[in-house]
Amino acid sequence: MSREKVSYKEAGVDIDAGNAFVEAIKAEVKSTFDEHVIGGIGSFAGAYALPAGYREPVLLSATDGVGTKLKLAIDSGRLDTVGIDLVAMCVNDLICNFGTPMFFLDYYATGRLLPEEARRVVGGIAEGCRRSQCALIGGETAEMPGMYGEKDFDLAGFAVGIAEREEMDRVSRVKPGQILLALPSSGVHSNGYSLVRKLFFEKLGMSFEDDFEGRPLIEVLLEPTRIYVPEFKANKEHIVALAHITGGGIVENLPRVLPENVRAVVDRSKIRTLPVFDFMARYVEEEEMFRTFNMGVGMVWVVEAEEVDTVLKATDAYVIGELVAGERGVTLS
């Protein structure tokens, strides 16, 4: 048996690269801090002081990933925006329970830590935090050769928000006669990418740089998920309920905010579908499209009829339907 020494670096883990990465992201991370962040970067845990002014504050949490959209980012080398997707998928869920995002943590796992690539990814996470007005107070970077391929990585995110206890139950406020408003999505967002990749690159044999509506296809497919936190905070008093339209589409996500005796009637002709969905619909059944993708609607707000004009003037929302008495669910008319 050989007594030759073996180092951690030879085993595939470079501690110095990890330290260099932490130094490289400090400015990006600090740019997300607000007055509630306690301490700095490098402690064993992030600390955040609860905002004042809540009568019965409740903490909310949400976790998510980016899914196989990451594969497109890795294969194309475009790593700057998937971090925005990661934050968006978490904070857009939080606001559906009337939670205001406070802070975010990420988990970055890779086969080999490449500091510059990792910095671009975390830079995107920081940008997502800035857009959602929450602080990036911590994270974990795991270098795991043998678990992941050298260029592969995965992301997970964890958001914590705060809500007034009496405001959390939105379903009990939903009733027939209220109006459904759509807030446009920025693109495919972060769901359905196994189908996206199969259609565009396996079935149709397209390439990343193919022109699509005047842009490289890969730019269209990697368009980051829209973050709706600023619009929510600015219009909170006018909203009855919200549904984040992710995997399952409108037909499966909107019922999550409906009581048993209320049905959503959505006028399909009013949905402003994006060109990328119109293109895919040539090859995918319509029902499958609506069950897989957001179809151009990133979030649905339920509002009282008398509040519609106020919200339309303040946002880019538009009317797509109404609520009626009936079995809980969605009718696409």
Sequential pLDDT tens for the chain (333 residues):
556 654 556 555 666 666 676 776 788 888 989 899 997 766 678 899 999 999 999 999 999 999 999 999 999 999 999 999 999 999 999 999 999 999 999 999 999 888 889 999 999 999 999 999 999 998 888 888 888 887 889 999 999 999 999 999 999 999 999 999 999 999 999 999 999 999 999 999 999 999 999 999 999 999 999 999 999 999 999 999 999 999 999 999 999 999 999 999 999 999 999 999 999 999 999 999 999 999 999 999 999 999 999 999 999 999 999 999 999 999 998
Structural domain spans, the chain: 15-167, 171-332
Strand order across the 262-266 sheet: 241-244, 297-303, 179-184, 318-325, 262-266, 329-332
CB 275 within 8 A of CB 256: no
pLDDT for 103: 97
**What SS3 string covers 24-93?**
HHHHHHHCCCCCCEECCCCCCCCEECCCCCCCCEEEEEEEEECCCHHHHHHHHCCCCCHHHHHHHHHHHH
Q: What residues does 332 pair with on adjacent strands?
A: 266
Place of tokens 């003037």: 313
| Cβ count within 10 A of residue 11 | 10
Strand order across the 153-164 sheet: 57-65, 153-164, 100-110, 135-143
CATH number of this structure's domain 15-167: 3.30.1330.10
| Cβ count within 10 A of residue 240 | 18
- Confidence (pTM): 0.92
pLDDT for 9: 62
Q: Are strands 329-332 and 262-266 parallel, antiparallel or unpaired?
A: parallel
CATH classification for the domain delimited by 171-332, as one of 3.40.50.720, 3.40.1190.10, 3.90.650.10, 3.40.640.10: 3.90.650.10
Q: How many residues belong to the chain? A: 333
